[in-house]
Amino acid sequence: MGAGLRLTAAAASGAALAFCFPPHSLSILAWVSVAMLMAVSLGASYRAAFTCGFVHGAAFYVIGVPWIYTVMRTYGNLNVIESAGVFAALAGTLSLYPAIFCLCLARLGRVSITTACLAAPFLWVALEFAKTHFPFHGFPWNLLGYAGARHLGLLQLVSLTGIYGLSFVLAGCNAFAAWLFLARPRHPWVVGTVAGGIMLSAVLVGDQFVPQEAPDRVAAMVQLNFPQSMEYPPDWFERHAADLEEIERLSADPSKPRPGVIIWPEAPAPFYWQDPRFSTLLSRIAQTAGNHVLTGVVDWKLPAGASSGRLEPYNTAILVDPTGRRVFSYDKIHLVPFGEYVPLRRWLTFAGRLTAEVGDFRSGSSYAVGELPGGSFGVFICYEGVYPDEVRQFVDGGARLLINISNDGWLQNSGGGEQHLEMVRVRAVENRRWLLRATNTGITASVDPYGRVAARFARDVRGLFRAPYGFRKDLTLYARWGDWFAWLCAAAAATAVLGSGFLRKKS
């Protein structure tokens, strides 16, 4: 196969995989798109295989997450070249993972095509697991498994293995397709049709047996719908007095049945707890409603363990009780690189303009669990929802309800908002918990413990959304043991790659 044809197939593979996710959502392509990449890598030279993987990754990220460039350009105070440079650097770094996958696959192919295809799903999951943690604390956005998460029956696997088990299934199907194409077994179309029919039947029939979860409570989630901005004038509260009056009226409407909790999103405006204009407003709403209010704020305080010095900003979720007192807080632990802090600031001097706060946000250190009438809850903030093990920490710490507050206004009307919801939705199933998701502009939703979106609110409107939920205390295998399956795949992949030289000599 010529080099041009290989690269074209690799790019097509990356594009097809990108189209599996919103806004296109052609998830059926996830069952075969990576097979093209595997096919062109097996039998290729190491350099050619690595290049194919890199091209696949570049096509996948350019088509799948173009909103990253838009965020940099619109809200990051960067010009066209700088925005494109940051996006290219991120896409290029992340494209190294499929490049390494193809390189290892080519090495395993020297032993046999069957060996390589058997090892492929382990290798794919191992590299997804690595991508979750590196670089800059990882970027596990649109992992392969999320493309299969729309099949409700299949999705239940993640309660055992986390999202990595679903990635393994899809990678295994792609490896099987590549094996059929390359190994040329007897009657390949019969084998493929039978295997595909069994898988399709299992997926479709499995959806019918997923239990229904009946909610017994209702939360009042207020979608604030403030326009996204990087800077706020000193008289912001005066300019938005009418907006705040409307939001107060929505939040504390005495004509409505009292909900279990009132939830606002991650702070989309200068909501500083230390500013009496805001803290007084929030306390008044809690007192008028006679209810708890959970919201995101910027909390200026001394770092943990410091007795004096400069106050630092934290991205914080706080709970105010019906008397108006602040009774709980959680400081966001996993900050957004180039959004809430700048990694390698000494070398990336231009990137400081990407943060609204000159000194960056400080990271929290504890997965705090709070209490509501009826049970305990854990709240994670925005981007933290794409990290399975981090959300699991709240459930492991006793949370019987999960709450995600976010501000996806940065994503505008791109597919990023739907992508974010699809990933956060899987966290509900992994931990078998109701999940309430409150956002500034959308998508505000309630997800049941089996992954059904029980209700969702319209985008880009201000209003109160009554979301069903309940509390659960049972623990899934994933909630108990975390990323055991990913570690198992990593060990198997390392053994296969390191042992391939020995196997090749023996063969």
Which of 266, 340, 384, 422 is catalytic? The answer is 266
Burial tier of 237 (Cβ tally within 10 Å: 0-12, 13-18, 19+): middle
Q: In angstroms, rounded to a whole number, what is the distance separating the alpha carbons of residues 42 and 119? A: 12
Contact between 111 and 70 under an 8 Å Cβ cutoff? The reply is: no
For residue 36, what are its two tokens? 């093209």
For residue 338, give Cα distances in angstroms to 76, 230, 392: 9, 13, 25
Q: In angstroms, rounded to a whole number, what is the distance separating the alpha carbons of residues 100 and 107? A: 11
Which of 52, 128, 213, 332 is catalytic? The answer is 332
Q: In angstroms, rounded to a whole number, what is the distance separating the alpha carbons of residues 150 and 29? A: 13
Q: In angstroms, rounded to a whole number, what is the distance separating the alpha carbons of residues 177 and 97? A: 21
Q: In angstroms, rounded to a whole number, what is the distance separating the alpha carbons of residues 52 and 470? A: 47
Provide the CA 375 distance to its chain's centre, in angstroms.
Answer: 26
Q: In angstroms, rounded to a whole number, what is the distance separating the alpha carbons of residues 424 and 387? A: 9
Q: Scan for tokens 């044809």, then name that residue.
A: 5
Q: In angstroms, rounded to a whole number, what is the distance separating the alpha carbons of residues 247 and 109? A: 61
Confirm whether 506 is a catalytic residue.
Answer: no
Residues 6+ apart with CB under 8 A from 74: 412
Confirm whether 52 is a catalytic residue.
Answer: no
For residue 503, what are its two tokens? 């196997």
Confirm whether 332 is a catalytic residue.
Answer: yes
Which of 117, 173, 382, 489 is catalytic? The answer is 382
User: Coil, strand, or helix at residue 59?
Assistant: helix
**Three-state secondary structure of 136-190:** CCCCCCCCHHHHHCCCHHHHCCHHHHCHHHHHHHHHHHHHHHHHHHHHCCCCHHH
Starting at the edge strand found earlier in the chain, the sheet holding 369-372 runs 369-372, 375-381, 402-406, 435-439, 445-447, 453-456
Q: Between the CA atoms of 87, 90, 95 and 101, what dihedral angle is there, to the nearest 10 degrees?
A: -160
Task: Give the residue numbers marked as catalytic.
Answer: 266, 332, 382
